[in-house]
Amino acid sequence: MKYIIVTGGVLSGLGKGVTASSAGLLLQCAGYKVTAVKIDPYLNVDAGTMNPYEHGEVFVMTDGAEVDLDLGNYERFLRCNLTAEHNITTGKVYKKVIEKERHGDYLGQTVQIIPHIVREIVDGVKNAAKNAKADVCVVELGGTVGDIESMPFMEAVRLLGREEGRENVMFVHTTLIPVVGAVGEQKTKPTQHSVKELQGLGIRPDVIVGRSDEVLSEDIAAKIAFFADIPREAVISAPDVKTIYEVPLLFLEQGFPQLIEKRLGLKTKKPDVKQWRDFVDRISNGGEEVEIAIIGKYTSLKDSYISHEETLRYAGAVLGCKVKIRWIEAPDLEDSGSTKQLEGVNGVIVPGGFGNRGAEGKIMGARWARENQIPYLGVCFGFQLATVEFARNVLGLEKANSAELDPDGPHPVVDILPEQEGVVDMGATMRLGEHEIKVLDGKAKKLYGKDIIFERHRHRYEINPNYIERIEAKGMKYTGRDSSGRRMEILELEGHPYFVASQFHPEFKSRPDAPSPLHLGLVKAALDNKKA
Ligand code: GLN
């Protein structure tokens, strides 16, 4: 097993994830089996209870793990499915160690960060890599060198290097090269400091990836190489690019894969990036523009809906068009009492969400799309609220609502899942992960091209079976059901160009070469809407 450890210096948000996934993709294109582990040094056990406003989208994996959105990037770049063990958090590690201590596994010992916590981290990384049966495991260490939280993890990756052997573990350090002054000079000092800090922890970087506005000048690259004591070719430029998908191609031009292969004693193979290059061309070329509104609650932090954004891009690439997103803040829509903000869009997405704030705004969006024949895709909350809207305005059940929003209302058309009654803990207790869905005749079935599909879930509420007959009689059909047949998974509105919603989250399984069929259907319908 070979490991590539990616650390970050100077400040966070530099694109360690993109660095790690690009390196992984290039090795994958060279024929190696690659997997990824993301380390998050926070005390939450998982990302499930975190506010998307602070951390961005909560990504859900096949096994139901609720994880950091970086894991979504890995799944999309490496076109693979990862599991809970690929996201290691401080909370998860401590929980396990404390459970072991209570169980008596360390009987007689004083349980400490070193060696016990660090041991647990090293074993966690090794197990994830081994279970994925990978040749190479890319490990991204969240946070920045020098953070107190990341210290045990730094020690763990150092130990990993020691145990697995120098020839099997390499370190890639991503840092910022700021440009300052009137002449726009690239500065290496922050990088020098962070490399020194890393060295002080016993880690010698093998490659430095320098993030800057522009390509690093030759002088600057040579200077970094000198201070970090690495060859010049081990300093890689990562200038700003239009899309993150260009980064692997930039790394390839600079010989990054050969650098890794040499350092890790792998056979030099030429990565075949033709497919990836085609995808990048298609994504950058654009074509006709369609505009899709995303009505959400955390739209000022765009990463809150990153899987939808990426999926829409992929759908655009497949259909040869450019999808522009109009971000609509649901509480604003609600407060304004008008749908004016939506005018002119060719399609609407109401994504997943929780709670009362903005819910009425989302319902207004669903109604507007339904009444004006505008293509609509509802996901999870957007599926439930489309049902609420229909019950209110078509069935005439004025006070219809979701029990999540109005627990004592007369018409809970969306109700708590029976198995959720009495559940009090909030962490990892929803209906999560991949479940089978039977798809009945309709648009969704045509788009998927199959009648059995598997999609990922994250919800506590569902369509109340007592209302289904009445709703269907008025033309809203539930064309997707779980394997028992009693749980509704997809809805479609008859006589509308495209009004489709799902209880599951199709955006999580989207890949650059295979966008979610329901998003693809939406963009296709949006193109038709524009032409009409
Ligand atoms: N709040 C809704 C539920 O718990 C929808 C969840 C979601 O959109 N992910 O069922």
One digit per residue, the tens of pLDDT, for the chain of length 532 reads 999 999 998 787 788 999 999 999 999 999 999 999 999 999 998 888 888 777 789 999 999 999 999 999 999 999 999 999 999 999 999 999 999 999 999 999 999 999 999 999 999 999 999 999 999 999 999 889 989 999 999 999 999 999 999 999 999 999 999 998 878 889 999 999 999 999 999 999 999 999 999 999 999 999 999 999 999 999 999 999 999 999 999 999 999 999 999 999 998 888 999 999 999 999 988 789 999 999 998 767 768 899 999 999 999 999 999 999 999 999 999 999 999 999 999 999 999 999 999 999 999 999 999 999 999 999 999 999 999 999 999 999 999 999 999 999 999 999 999 888 888 888 888 899 999 999 999 999 999 999 999 999 999 999 999 999 999 999 999 999 999 998 999 999 999 999 999 999 999 999 999 999 999 999 999 999 998 8
- In terms of domains, do 246 and 373 share one? no
- In terms of domains, do 255 and 299 share one? no
- In terms of domains, do 203 and 299 share one? no
Nearest to 163, CA basis, from 128, 121, 135:
121
Rounded-to-integer distance, Cα 256 and Cα 250, Å: 9
354 alpha carbon to ligand 1 midpoint, in Å?
6
- For position 419, what pLDDT does the model report? 84
Residue nearest to atom 9 of ligand 1 (CA): 352
- In terms of domains, do 248 and 366 share one? no
Strands 461-463 and 411-416: antiparallel
Q: What total number of domains does the chain contain?
A: 2
For residue 489, the domain's CATH number is 3.40.50.880
Nearest to 56, CA basis, from 385, 333, 260, 304:
304
- For position 497, what pLDDT does the model report? 97
Ligand 1 is surrounded, with C-beta below 6 A, by 352-354, 380-381, 384, 404, 458-461
288, β-bridge pairs: 321
Each residue's pLDDT tens digit, 154-169: 999 999 999 999 999 9
From 379, 385, 461, 463, mutation site for ligand 1 pocket: most ligand atoms within 8 A of C-beta = 461
- For position 302, what pLDDT does the model report? 67
Q: At 16, is the secondary structure helix, strand, or coil? A: helix
DSSP symbols for 142-160: -S-TT-TTTHHHHHHHHHH
Last residue of a domain, one of 250, 278, 306: 278
- For position 11, what pLDDT does the model report? 82
From 57, 455, 460, 488, mutation site for ligand 1 pocket: most ligand atoms within 8 A of C-beta = 460
- In terms of domains, do 205 and 310 share one? no
Distances from the Cα of 528 to the Cαs of 55, 158, 499, in angstroms? Answer: 36, 56, 14
Each residue's pLDDT tens digit, 35-83: 999 999 999 988 888 887 777 899 999 999 999 999 999 999 999 999 9
- In terms of domains, do 443 and 347 share one? yes
From 51, 295, 307, 380, mutation site for ligand 1 pocket: most ligand atoms within 8 A of C-beta = 380
Residue nearest to atom 1 of ligand 1 (CA): 354
Residue nearest to atom 8 of ligand 1 (CA): 352
Residue nearest to atom 7 of ligand 1 (CA): 352
Last residue of a domain, one of 238, 256, 278: 278
- In terms of domains, do 261 and 291 share one? no
- In terms of domains, do 316 and 210 share one? no
State the catalytic residues. Answer: 380, 505, 507
Last residue of a domain, one of 278, 304, 337: 278
For residue 24, the domain's CATH number is 3.40.50.300
Element (H, E) at 310: helix 306-319
- In terms of domains, do 312 and 400 share one? yes
- For position 429, what pLDDT does the model report? 84
> In 105-178, at which residue ranges do the beta strands (DSSP E only) sit?
136-141, 169-176
Looking at residue 215, the DSSP 8-state letter turns out to be: P
Structural domain containing residue 105: 2-278
Residue 352 alpha carbon, nearest atom of ligand 1: 8
- In terms of domains, do 301 and 420 share one? yes
250 alpha carbon to ligand 1 midpoint, in Å?
39
306 alpha carbon to ligand 1 midpoint, in Å?
17
Distances from the Cα of 508 to the Cαs of 60, 176, 353, in angstroms? Answer: 7, 30, 15
- For position 73, what pLDDT does the model report? 94
351 alpha carbon to ligand 1 midpoint, in Å?
10
Nearest to 122, CA basis, from 160, 172, 165:
160
Looking at residue 359, the DSSP 8-state letter turns out to be: H
Query: Tokens for 274?
Result: 């033709």
- In terms of domains, do 172 and 117 share one? yes
- In terms of domains, do 271 and 293 share one? no
Question: CA dihedral in degrees (363, 365, 370, 371; nearest 10)?
Answer: 100
504 alpha carbon to ligand 1 midpoint, in Å?
10
Rounded-to-integer distance, Cα 464 and Cα 196, Å: 60
